[in-house]
Homo-oligomer: A and B are copies of this chain.
Amino acid sequence: MVPPTLTRRQQEIHEYLREHLDDFPHPPTLDELCDALGLSSRGSLHKQIQALIEAGLVEPMNNLRRGIRLVEEDMPPMGDSDALPLYGYIAAGRPIEAIRNPEMIDVPAQLRSSKPCYVLEVRGDSMIEEGILDGDWVVIEHRDQARNGEIVVALVDGEEATLKRLEAKSGEVVLHPANSSLAAMHYSPERVQVQGVLVGQMRRYH
């Protein structure tokens, strides 16, 4: 998915981030980035970053400090428009963005959405009654919002990524497994971060 046309300045900033983000000991604050870019207005920079976030090039930083991170997305090099990155295992105990240099996997257009997607390999039986088995590949649309009833990749306390059905009530978020031997888990909303929504699934038998 080629992002909606970036302005030239946005391309420049994106390029700068790709080349210099690792130079900082921590992800920089907006003020530090302003300094590095020669800007003097935090608000202006924020607007540009916002555009990059909407284009799917930068991770959404929901009020987090030093939250500027690039989206891992080696865009398939032309022609291979059906290949998506395999980021690793779901329910493997760490945030998905941690995985680098992902393997690429072909995904038919019918199994993905028009938005940026990625692939995870399922570990465990927590969704077995939905027909999602250990070892399956799931296609995830990258977004941070989901509706009730959707199956999402949820990051709890920034540490553990799991695949569960989402139910957001007033004051709490419930993650429902699809396995009668497992209980639903209840969290306060700020502990749960949606990283994507299930749009497809694949399995191989040989």
Contacts and interface: CB of A to CB of B under 8 A. Distances in A.
A206 B113 contact: yes
Interface stretch (A87-95, A126-134, A166-174, A179-187): A126-134
* Among A7, A113, A205: residue with most chain B CB under 10 A: A205
Contacts of A66: 8
A interface residue count range (under 10 / 10 to 19 / 20 to 34 / 35 or more): 20 to 34
Q: Within the oligomer, what is the number of copies of this chain? A: 2
Nearest to A29: B8
A26 B5 CA distance: 11
Interface in A96-149: 105-111, 113, 128, 131-133, 136
Contacts of A8: 26, 65-66
Nearest to A150: B205
Given A7-B65, A151-B205, A199-B204, 4 more contacts: A106-B108, A131-B133, A201-B203, A202-B203
